[in-house]
Chains A and B, each alone.
Chain A
Amino acid sequence: MKPTDAAVTWIEEKPLGLAERLYLPLFVQGLTTTARHLVSPKVTVSYPEQRPKVGNPLIYRGVHRLNRDTEGRVKCVACFLCATACPAHCIDIVATDSPWPDREKYPESFAIDELRCIFCGMCEEACPVDAIELTSLLDLTGKSREEMIFDKEKLLSVYDMTKDSEPMKSASLGGTL
């Protein structure tokens, strides 16, 4: 859009009032803010010795987990909807025929590049069987890039680790329990 466009409205800057020109009231205002923070309670924590408080773990977007069904099998049906929704293209799935009679398709491999992930939660939104979820685990560290590519086993182990503190959000939904 050009500055001469009719849709552009030009406004004039307000002239300084007396208080602004005196400078002193604003100076006092700024110092008051500083002084208030000197005496208010601390919000910083000494991470990692001290854990930060996560508001609601059920809506926090941390490390992914792959949920298990009632029989302990991976719940994912390898529909690729998470990989389709993923804006960072960090999910790689290899699908194949499932070894179980009541299931048709399952992920032979399921890998998430946690370094590429932007933790937007779109995969969780897209999943038709609530198999992929984001936990409240926030400290994600590793010694190499390879280590940060989470495979199916690792994602399932995140589920085992967090299933008690963070139950599945919608266990009653869908026919793939």
Chain B
Amino acid sequence: MPTVIVDGKEIEIGADERLNCIEAARRAGAEIPHYCWHPGLSVVASCRMCLVETGTRDAATGKISMMPKLVPACQTPAKDGTVIVTESQLVKESRARVEEALLIDHPIDCPICDKAGECLLQDYHFQHGQAERRADLHPFTSRRRDVGPTVTLFVDRCIMCTRCVRFTREVSGTSELMVTSRGAKEEIDIFPGHPLDNKLSGNVVDLCPVGALGDKDFLYQQRVWFMKREANVCGGCSAGCSIHTEHNQDTVYRLKPRENPHVNKWWICDDGRYGWHHIHDASRIVGAGRRASSSTPLESVEWADVITRLRADLKAASRLAVAVSPMLTVEEAWMLCAVARSIDPQALLAVGHVPQAGEDETFPGGFTIRAEKCPNRLGVEGVIALFDPAVRSWNDLVSHVRAGHADAAWITGAYPAAWIDDDTAAAFADLKCLVVQDLFDSPLTALATWKLPAAGFAERAGTWVNVAHRAQAFEQAVRPPAGVWPEGRLYWNMLGRRGLYDPTAVRRQIADSSASFAALAGEIPSTGVDLRIHQLASTTS
């Protein structure tokens, strides 16, 4: 195993790992500051912040010979016998000088900069900069330039790390951004007539180590230090990107990608990034409502009564058909199936409507936006298979109801956009009891005997299984609006279980009772578990 010596500490790295000195030092617990280097982008070594002293140790004699000059750690591969010194006087002085040079052209308008609080320039200046300025600097207002529909550029705040330029060339493959002029006059700009308008454009804002690129959707909405972040999973498509939901007082302000090497690496698409606004829509269904007959208006029902009256209504109607929405978590789907089967042991269980939009879209950097606009079709199919080996689709359910084989239907939705047309909804018109659980009113809710609210994205807890069979567990980030019980809470209570809804307890129960979900038994790492790999491992061992 190759050995790298970081600040006198020997660490071993994998024989076929290709690490640079920043990554190797990080393993030894030494953080080398850097602006331009990003693990997902090519190396340019232009910011000079990661300069360190390096050398090599002779394997035979053990003698260490150091390089006379500082070298960029991002560009220097860590090999067997590489010596890295990250905190010598020379390195510290070099960092302080880089910081000083960066600040000469910087507006220092931190009070009005959206990046303040999570800015690398601020952090590194605090850690590595000089206490006093030698230049006579006065704060000024940065020039602002519109570069696209989602992103705005504060020209003078830029430190020319070119991460954004490399991103558009290497990952999104659209190459809208470029560097104009030379030397001290260098600026980021767009090619004339080609605004930064691609489906990954929001990522350049995350990549920007300073406040030069601003997210128009988030600009001036909230200071970053007020927000709490919750590890979450994007529900926009079946890719299931790992994200952080950043929120304050039950209001979501923005979504940020969360690094997950198995799913989304460091990126998310703009559809997901800005696709959370519907959860704060004022037209959402809140409160449970029941209609005595199709001609009477909805009357609101207390949630405590919903548990018993809903069960009684469905029991009275006898033959039940249930659409388990692919927006539900594995735990919620399992409890819904259990509730349905406890009411009618022959209940038809089908996967709810699976929204599709266009084709899968893959970018040069390997990032894929899926056409299937729901996060958990595979999870729901897997759950239904535990109750009924024949997994029915939404169309099967509609024709089942059309043929008159059902007296009652329970349709779960939670779709962010309109999903059902009048013709399809008409199939459910003659049922004795129709339960609709959704975010927004639709032709179906107009016919509903029971109209129940659904939880929005970030308001539910549980596990989603993405298109690659990777199960990711997440917690509730924000509370739903008053009058909304998330599905999990309703089903938990309808099953007669005590206390608060506990997705972990349900997950353990599912994992213990089935081979296909056995991988969910233990603690689920933040990057998720692959359901298939764990099945193979458990069958061979």
Contacts and interface: CB of A to CB of B under 8 A. Distances in A.
B140 A95 contact: no
Contact of B220 (A81, A84, A97): A97
Interface of A (DSSP majority class): loop
A129 B141 contact: no
Interface in A76-119: 77-81, 84, 95-97, 102-105
Secondary structure type dominating chain B contacts: loop
Nearest to B138: A175
Given A105-B112, A175-B138, 11 more contacts: A77-B111, A78-B220, A79-B112, A84-B223, A95-B220, A95-B221, A97-B219, A104-B109, A104-B112, A104-B141, A174-B139
B38 interface: no
Q: Which of A80, A84, A96 has the most CB of B within 10 A?
A: A80
B144 interface: yes
The 5 closest A-B pairs by CB, nearest first: A79-B111, A95-B220, A105-B112, A80-B223, A128-B111
Contacts of B109: 104
B112 A84 contact: no
Nearest to B141: A104
Interface string B126-147: 0000000000001111101000
A95 B221 CA distance: 7
Contacts of A95: 220-221
A84 B111 CA distance: 12
Interface residues of B, number: 15
A84 B141 contact: no
Contacts of A97: 219-220
Interface in A31-81: 77-81
Interface string A151-164: 00000000000000
Nearest to A176: B139
Interface of A: 77-81, 84, 95-97, 102-105, 128-129, 174-175
Contacts of B223: 79-80, 84
A104 B140 contact: no
Given A104-B112, A104-B144, A128-B111, A96 B139 contact: no
Nearest to A81: B111
A102 B144 CA distance: 11
A175 B140 contact: yes
B139 A175 contact: yes
B111 A129 contact: yes
Interface in B106-158: 109, 111-112, 138-142, 144
Interface in B87-122: 109, 111-112
Contacts of B225: 84
A80 B225 CA distance: 10
Contacts of A77: 111-112
A51 B141 CA distance: 44
27 contacts: A77-B111, A78-B112, A78-B220, A79-B111, A79-B112, A79-B223, A80-B223, A80-B226, A81-B111, A84-B223, A84-B225, A84-B226, A95-B220, A96-B220, A97-B220, A102-B141, A103-B141, A104-B109, A104-B141, A104-B142, A105-B112, A105-B220, A128-B111, A129-B111, A175-B138, A175-B139, A175-B140
Contacts of B111: 77, 79, 81, 128-129
A101 to B, nearest CB: 9
